[in-house]
Chain A
């Protein structure tokens, strides 16, 4: 078992999260185009000044965005699927967090080693990535420091934040936990942050895919499915 690059638990939760994330992203975009404007504070509507308006057409005719046509309304099924996928993401995420802490996965595989964060070592790793050097031998069984940092930010920062800001938009949730939304500055602030975190997660996904591509797409994706790097097996 120790020869596996990814444990079974990590592989299953990785793909469940992928599935949930893609469903959340597609449906999130559908919901967003019914009001592609962002505000800060508690309230925001077409009578108020937005802090950001996306230059895209909307699925509502009430949006003054300069487009002469209205996109079809897809909010019904999008909302059902968004919240169903959110449940999948939350249940998977909580299971993964319990696994990560109890089995030492976070400590061993995700948390960056203090030595690797030393400026010289870190700068070297950064330069290596910038030049798209091939992954070293030791990386077959372990994540490098940039991976560990990126994964830590996503697992402990962006995922909790996107769930938190999502829940803040629920009037029933805030009836029980009003502090969860007021501490962020209000419901529209939470909605704006929900969008900002989405952008960061999409950026992460893009970089993640580019890195997987440069490290060897078939091999790396194969390892996330079977747990093994094919080359290592051949050598063994």
Chain B
């Protein structure tokens, strides 16, 4: 081996070592600022974390694209859901009069809201797109009450970082960070295109998270738990979709 190539080898080695050390420091800093998603693993952690960190620096306060009324899809598509449990049918029979949305976890005053309570909260409407990870989408007008309203009402405690939310469907849950949870367009939706939210589209209550893909907009929500650590939930990756191999952060 010539001197020149040995010198090159040493230089390359040093550069690689510096690079690895730099990545380690970057990961620590990103972790401290909450820029590492809960599902980051060895294989896809780099790409997944870059996406989430870049989006959080870029999009903390951005508003999801809104469309004009004439762009609303004439034929929206309701993706299929797992068979609904018997308790759903029971509640549906009462016109969802007994449906409850509970907020608990890191809040000063854990509370339960009926659909009527939610409808009496300040109303917010948006014409936004539901984009599925499969590639299809539709535009609809969604109306509901901002999740931030209920988080304020229950009194989110300092140090809260995520909102975990559950469907009435068994083992179906998701979570978002507080940037999305307190975002003005994140709403507990109960109306679609000016009418009662149809059951196939998530009625009576669906959490709309318009800056992320459709699978984050969970249908039939019954409970929201505020937390500082997603490791305490399920397998620790932040949701049923993440446990099924899909990215926790779906803003792409």
Contact = CB atoms under 8 A, between A and B. Distances in A.
A187 B132 CA distance: 12
A191 B137 CA distance: 11
Contact of A76 (B62, B79, B80, B245): B245
B112 to A, nearest CB: 31
Given A42-B71, A175-B62, A187-B131, A83 B245 contact: no
A198 interface: no
Among A44, A45, A174, A191, the most chain B Cβ lie within 10 Å of the Cβ of: A45
Interface stretch (B26-34, B43-51, B148-156, B221-229): B43-51
B73 A43 contact: yes
A47 B136 CA distance: 10
Which range contains the number of A residues in contact with the other chain? 35 or more
Interface stretch (A31-39, A148-156, A202-210): A31-39
Contacts of B76: 45, 47
A42 B139 contact: yes
A43 B139 contact: yes
A80 interface: yes
Contacts of A62: 79-80
Interface in A38-79: 42-48, 60-62, 75-77, 79
Contact of B134 (A35, A83, A86, A175): A35
B44 A84 contact: yes
A108 to B, nearest CB: 24
A45 B137 contact: yes
A87 B166 CA distance: 32
A81 B47 CA distance: 8
Given A42-B129, A84-B46, A171 B211 contact: yes
Contact of B48 (A47, A83, A175, A176): A83
Interface in B196-243: 210-213
A43 B244 contact: no
Contacts of A174: 64-65
Nearest to B43: A80
Contact of B137 (A75, A85, A176, A187): A187
Interface in A84-112: 84-88
A226 to B, nearest CB: 12
A46 to B, nearest CB: 6
Closest 6 CB pairs of A and B: A84-B47, A76-B245, A172-B251, A47-B75, A170-B252, A45-B77
8 contacts: A31-B134, A45-B132, A47-B76, A60-B134, A84-B46, A171-B213, A178-B65, A181-B65
Interface of A: 31-32, 34-35, 37, 42-48, 60-62, 75-77, 79-81, 83-88, 169-176, 178, 181, 187-188, 191
Interface of B: 43-44, 46-48, 50-51, 55, 58-59, 62-65, 67, 71, 73, 75-77, 79-80, 129, 131-139, 210-213, 244-247, 251-252
Given A42-B67, A80-B44, 17 more contacts: A42-B71, A44-B137, A45-B73, A46-B77, A75-B134, A83-B252, A87-B50, A87-B51, A169-B131, A170-B251, A171-B64, A171-B213, A172-B58, A172-B211, A172-B252, A176-B59, A181-B65
